[in-house]
A and B are shown apart, each in its own frame.
Chain A
Amino acid sequence: MSGAVLAPAGLAAPAAGRLGPAWRGLVRAALPWLLPALLLLAWQAGSMAGWIAEEVLPAPSAVLAAGWELARSGELLRNIEVSTWRALTGFAIGGGLGLGFGVLTGLSRLGERLLDSSVQMLRNIPHLALIPLVILWFGIDEAAKLFLVALGSFFPVYVNTMHGVRSVDPQLVEMGRAYGMDAPTLFRRIVLPGALPSVFVGLRYGLGIMWLTLIVAETIAANSGIGYMAMHAREFMLVDVVVFSILVYALLGKLADSLARLLERLCLSWNPAYRSA
């Protein structure tokens, strides 16, 4: 397949002799977008030809128009703001607690004996199963969404932090001791950086769960946010808005993951495995 794509650049050889590498770079950067673009085109064409019913799946242009309308009225931005705030606050609470408890159980045998088996037991309850209970406790208040998001993102961060702290090279810890590091210095200079790659795995996994939880929670119990926007539109059979909301969720999720990856690359630049590109 790549051969076929590269062919035009190769055929234009006389003129593009100097442009060759630049062209190739462009093609390589565009390659991942090829399939989505083709799908989109097919979808648009299918809608225009009438093969895809409008009330099942509106054309991309219609979805875009609906999005534009939402953006113009300010509704889109307001809902994105609400959802992002919920996601980040819930994640900060859950991830922060996960980080703290993970470090605690990773460092201290007593902490592990005291906490770990309880946490592992709780982990086996799917947190979304708690939704009815959470609605009973908090109604459809903000607290309900924050609670669910925090609960969902707690576990991956906790488990991976604990594992990261545990797997720090004991030889390095011994070196630190031999060179007179006190406990806080040892933690800051050896344990934390050593655990960081694993913490990031937990962070990215937790971010995924964060969005998933928020989507479900907003769809079931909310009166603002993107999930609510989709559910509200469904009541009025506004399929284009529903599809657009789904796309917004996908974009936000991708954005969060990209930010986490960027952060990862910045923090772990010492590690050859993360240094590429």
Chain B
Amino acid sequence: MDGMVQAPARAAGVAVGIRGLRKAFGGPAVLQGIDLDIPAGQFLAVVGRSGCGKSTLLRLIAGLEQPGGGSLTLRAGQDLLAPAAAVRLMFQEPRLLPWSSIGGNVEVGLPRGLAAAERAARARAALAEVGLAERAAEWPAVLSGGQKQRVALARALVSRPRLLALDEPLGALDALTRIGMQALVEAVWRAEGFTAVLVTHDVGEAVALADRVILLEQGRVAMDVPIDLPRPRRHGDAALAALEARILDRLLAAER
């Protein structure tokens, strides 16, 4: 993997520029004018109540939905990029193809037109990154939930995306597996330098992982909190707990 560092493939993150972004599904607008700048390489966490439009925002960034108004651009330096080329999305469920081997599932993340040998080699390398290199030939059905989600992470990373969008990918995991996955996501993010946007219900997870946490409320960015704490961060750190309490207070206040 290190051999690829000097190749142009070492993708630095993209910067995201969002201006007055609106989206409605027939009824009242879900997003009613989002303004947000995500610098290249930043780790952004998005929190908010269920149904506030977090997934919708992420799907807009990933190009799976079209904006109802406003603009959304992805930039690397001066170049404008299409979401399909730059963004990889990780879902709450692993969404692996049960009829493809684990290696074959990771290859889904690769661009087309590569030789078979190279595809397999890159898939194996991505699997090694998530600690599953030996399992490439097996069916996904034999994996545990946490392992499946690691395969999904490898699939998202194998094309070296410049933005990784994560929609509560750890929501269904048990506490211990979750902490392990958080460390893994943080490690690959630091190693690869992509921009990360993590949607999560767990404010503790958001402040532990992100450079910055935004809170969505009534279709707008209601709170924007930088997390300027050194990494690696320790669970139960007092400064983290204080930030978490501040965001939670705001979330609960909106609830009333």
Contacts and interface: CB of A to CB of B under 8 A. Distances in A.
Interface in B85-108: 88-89, 91, 93, 95, 97-100, 108
Interface stretch (A64-72, A147-155, A156-164, A168-176): A168-176
B98 A175 contact: no
B91 A175 contact: yes
A179 interface: yes
A177 interface: yes
A178 B62 contact: yes
Nearest to B110: A179
B95 A171 contact: yes
Nearest to A175: B95
B141 A270 contact: yes
A243 interface: no
A273 to B, nearest CB: 10
A194 B89 CA distance: 22
Given A178-B64, A270-B141, A193 B91 contact: no
Nearest to A169: B95
A257 B112 CA distance: 39
A179 B109 contact: yes
A180 B110 CA distance: 9
B139 A270 contact: yes
Interface in B51-65: 62, 64
Interface residues of B, number: 19
B111 A172 contact: no
Contacts of A176: 108
A171 B91 contact: yes
B188 interface: no
B229 interface: no
Contact of B97 (A178, A180, A190, A272): A190
B236 to A, nearest CB: 35
B137 interface: no
Contacts of B97: 172, 189-190, 193
A262 to B, nearest CB: 18
A32 B109 CA distance: 48
A193 B155 CA distance: 19
Contacts of A272: 141
A117 interface: no
Contact of A180 (B98, B111, B141, B155): B111
Interface string A172-209: 10111111110001000110011010000000000000
Contacts of B100: 189, 270
B62 A179 contact: no
B113 to A, nearest CB: 12
B84 interface: yes
A276 interface: no
Given A171-B91, A178-B89, A180-B111, A270 B62 contact: no
B226 to A, nearest CB: 30
B63 to A, nearest CB: 8
Contacts of A118: none
A172 B140 CA distance: 14
Contacts of A174: 64, 95
Given A172-B95, A189-B97, A189-B100, A179 B108 contact: yes
A271 B139 CA distance: 9
A189 B97 CA distance: 8
Nearest to B140: A270
A177 B64 contact: yes
Contacts of A268: 99
Contacts of B91: 171, 175
Interface of A: 171-172, 174-181, 185, 189-190, 193-194, 196, 268, 270-272
Interface of B: 62, 64, 84, 88-89, 91, 93, 95, 97-100, 108-109, 111-112, 139, 141, 155
Given A177-B64, A181-B108, A272-B141, 9 more contacts: A174-B95, A175-B108, A178-B62, A180-B111, A180-B112, A189-B100, A189-B108, A193-B99, A271-B98
- Lowest 7 CB-CB distances: which A-B pairs, in order? A193-B99, A175-B95, A270-B99, A178-B89, A270-B139, A180-B84, A179-B108
